Structures are given as structure tokens and as C-alpha cells.
Amino acid sequence: MQKQTFMAIVDWIELNLSRRILLDDIVIFSGYSRRYIYVLFNNFLGMPPGRYILYRRLSRGAVRLRLSVQSVTEIAHQLCFDSLQTFSREFKKLFGISPCSYRAKSEWILRNIQPRISFDEVSIPPPKMIELPKMDLLGYEFLYSQILGVKSDKCSQLRLEHVIKNTSNYKNKDFFIISKVIPEMSHDNKLEIKVFAGYERTNYTRDNRPKKYSVKSGLYAYFNFSGNWDAYSVIFEKLYLEVLPSYELKRAKGDDIECFKNNDKSMCRDNGIFNVDYYIPVCY
């Protein structure tokens, strides 16, 4: 019962981060006393609700700084800080760097990011640090757009369709998806996802002059996932906002690599189980 109440409050907070939230607002929403709400947050988070709300706002601001073209002033205003100076001061307290410097860094500093609290059952093992060699792929590209911070079932389904089509056509050959996230200059909160889909050069047999793509060598955090597509589609946020920060890893330049293991033992399309090796370029 306590967990359900706490998650209802957390979900409400998440929906209202763009407006000023007072403890009395949470009291009115939940019907519980201020003292009980403090007890809930202390039991489940070890911090008071006000601090969690502040850290979630700042963390959402950090994501927007890295993935959008919004100005720092616009971000501060949309997250309901009373001034740019207040946002910048609180941001530096949490991340140890000003918002402008955070955006300008070549690597993405993920330390101290406060993820949205959830109690889902998707578990991710600790990352393994792997030096990947340069790899040449052949395949094709596709694009789609997505609103920053908004889960899109349509986009998830599009990716799934490409995975199923390719793993059905090329059995026993690993299928790669390389994703690059690009802020859309004409829309403050819109992202363009540029995707390369294909196979290692030696495994590609089509004769339609496919595109070439070279995966850069370097240090990657490696994760393995095995499960259904619904569970897989939510791990991206967990990797970036929970796992990488907990190991004090920075997201380095480069593209995310998904390798769908495509053989009878590792993938079963009939019951929707996928086995994926996921690589994120990182540095310390």
C-alpha cells in the first residue's frame, strides 16, 4: 500500500515538473499529511520530497541541454525556476559545472543525474568495459522524429518492424542498429533519430548497392539484454539515467550500437524474445 501511494505521488510529480510544486499541493493530491509524505520519501528515497523535485527538474534540464536546441533561459523558464540565475546556481551545485559548460562539453557528464523513480522489474546487469575494434557494416538508413521526453509507441513499433524484417530475411546473421540522436533545429523539443540498419560486410549478400557504415573503435559500455520488446523499449532511459551515472561513466562521442543476436538459440520470434548486445561509447 505504501509503495502504491508513493508511486502515485511520484507519477503526479513527473507530470507537473513544469509548474511550481509545493508540499501542500502533494497533500491535496494524495490526501495524506505532510508528515506521512515525508516518511514515504525518506523510506523509499532517503531524501525529502522537495529535494527530489529539485533534482528531477535539474536532471530534466541536463537532458534538454544535451539533446535540444533550447536556450538555457527557455529551459529554466519551462522548468519553473524563478530566474536563470537560480537555475544556474542550483545546476552547478548538483553537477559541479554551469549549464553552458555542461552543454559545451564533448562528453556527457551523467554523474548525479536523478532518474524518475520506478519499481519495474526490468533488471540490467552491471556494464562490462570493452574496447571494440573498427567494424565495417553494409545496410540502409531510415529516419524518424520524436518529442524529447515523450515515449512514442509508434517509433518503438517502427524499430521493431525493421528488426523482425531483417532477422527473418537473414537467419543466423547478427543484425545491427546504429542510432544517432540529432536535435531538430526547427523545433525546440523535437529530436531526429537517424538509424543505420545492417550487417557486417562479410554477412551481407544483397546486390542493391547498400550504404556503408564504419563503427569507430573505442571504449564502450557493454550490456546484454534478453526479453520481450516491451521490456527492451524502456531500457534506454534506465541505461542513461540510472546505470551509467551509478558507475560514474560519461557518455563519449559516438553512436549507440545494438546487435540483435540472430540464431535459433538466442532469438525466438515466435514468442517475441530478443537477445541484444548493447554498446554505448563511454569515457571516465
Percent of the chain with pLDDT over 70: 93
For residues 148 and 210, state if they share a domain. Answer: yes
pTM comes to: 0.90
Tally of domains in the chain: 2
Residue 72: domain span? 2-104
Q: Is 240's pLDDT higher than 80?
A: yes
SS3 label, residue 11: helix
162 and 259 share a domain?
A: yes
Domain match, 96 and 133 both? no
Range 72-104 burial, b when 16+ CB lie within 10 A, else e: beebbbbbebeebeebbebbeebbeeebeebbe
- The reported pLDDT for the residue numbered 266 is 52
List the CATH number of the domain containing 61.
1.10.10.60
Last residue of a domain, one of 70, 104, 138: 104
Residues 66-103 have pLDDT tens digits of 999 999 999 999 999 999 999 999 999 999 999 999 99
Does residue 99 sit in the same domain as residue 185?
no
- Statement to judge: residues 276 and 185 lie in one domain: yes
